[in-house]
Amino acid sequence: MKYSRIVGTGRYLPEKVLTNFDLEKMVDTSDEWIRTRTGVERRHAVADDQTTSDMCVEAAKVAIEDAGIDVTDIDMVLVGTTTPDLIFPNAATLVQHRLGIPPCPAIGMEAACTSFIYALTTADKFIKAGEAKCALVIGAECITKIVDWTDRNTCVLFGDGAGAVIVKPSDEAGILATHLGADGQYKELLYYPVGASKELHKAGTDEAAITMVGNEVFKVAVKTLGNVATEVLHKAGVEQSELDWLIPHQANLRIIQATAKRLNLPMEKVILTVQDHGNTSAASVPMALDVGRRDGRVKPGQLVLMEAFGGGFTWGSVLMRM
C-alpha cells in the first residue's frame, strides 16, 4: 500500500435558507453589495436545536453509502470544526457513538477554516502508517451561531453545513502530497474572543462574535493560498498545468479568483459553491468536493488540489488523484 484514497463523499445542509434579500431586512446591506464583494447569494442556517454533530451524522451517512462500506468497517473518526457541540467530549466521539461505529480513535481537530484539511492530512498519515484501514473524515460548522447579525461585514459571509469523506488504503494513486502551516502572529485579524479558559461568561452575549479585519485577511489569504498550492505541487513533482481541478476554501469569490489567477488557472477549472453556501468554514472544501463529484465534473483519475485558509492563521493543501 502506497497511498490513501478518498472512496466516498457526502454533504448535508440545514433546511433553513437565508438569501441576500432576507439579510436586507436584518442589517444595513443589499443583495448587490453582498454579491459584488463576496459572491455569496444564499447560505443555510441550522435550527436553534440543531448541532454540529447532527450535521456530521447526516453527511457521514451519505459518504458511507457512497463508499459502499458498513459502519463496522470504520476504524478512525476525525471531525474538523470550530463549533463543536460541547467543550468535551469532542464531536468525533459523539459522531462515532451515534453512527454505531465500533470503539476506535475519535479525534476532534480545530484549525478554523483549515480544520478539514488538517483532519484529512492526519487520516492520510495514519493510513499510510498502517494504523488505520478506513477513516471517516468530516468538516462541519454551525458558524451562524457565533456571528453578530448586526455586523454586515461578517454576517453576510457565513453559513452552516457539513461535508464528509471516507478514506481507505490504495495501491493506486490517491493522496499524492499534503502541506500544512500556521502563523499565530495574525490572530488579531480574524478570531472569536471567547473560549473555555478566556471570558467564557461572555458566550451568548453581544460581546462574543467573530471579529475580522477583512482587507488585511484578504491580502494574506491570497498570498498564502498561492504559496500553499505551489508547495504541495512541488512536493508531488506535479506541474500546475497538469491540474484538472482546484477546490478551494469557499471564503469569498474575490479571494478564490485571485488565487486562481496566481496559479494561472482559468475559473472553469475551479469548483465554486460560495454562491450557494457562503463561507461554511471547515465544511466548505469537503462539500465542494462532493458537489463536483456528484454533478459529474470531478471524475476518477483526475488531478485535484484542495486548499484552505483560516483564522490563526492556519493553512493547508491536499493534492490527490481521484
113 flagged as catalytic: yes
142 flagged as catalytic: no
Find the catalytic residue in 20, 249, 252, 277. 249
309 backbone dihedrals φ, ψ, rounded to 5°:
-145, 130
Find the catalytic residue in 20, 90, 252, 279. 279
**Range 251-284 burial, b when 16+ CB lie within 10 A, else e:** bbbebbbbbbebbebeeeebbbbbebbbbbbbbb
Long-range contacts of 131-134 (CB under 8 A, 24+ apart): 131/76, 132/75, 132/76, 132/105, 133/73, 133/75, 133/168, 133/169, 134/69, 134/73, 134/74, 134/75, 134/76, 134/166, 134/167, 134/168
56 flagged as catalytic: no
CA distance 52 to 140: 6
Find the catalytic residue in 113, 134, 142, 155. 113
118 backbone dihedrals φ, ψ, rounded to 5°:
-60, -45
**CB hemisphere CA count around 17 (13 angstroms):** 9
3-12 and 161-170 strand pairing: antiparallel
Give Cβ neighbours of residue 22 (< 8 Å, ≥ 6 apart).
none
Kindly state the DSSP code that residue 102 receives in the 8-state scheme: P
Contact between 165 and 64 under an 8 Å Cβ cutoff? The reply is no
Annotated catalytic residues are 113, 249, 279
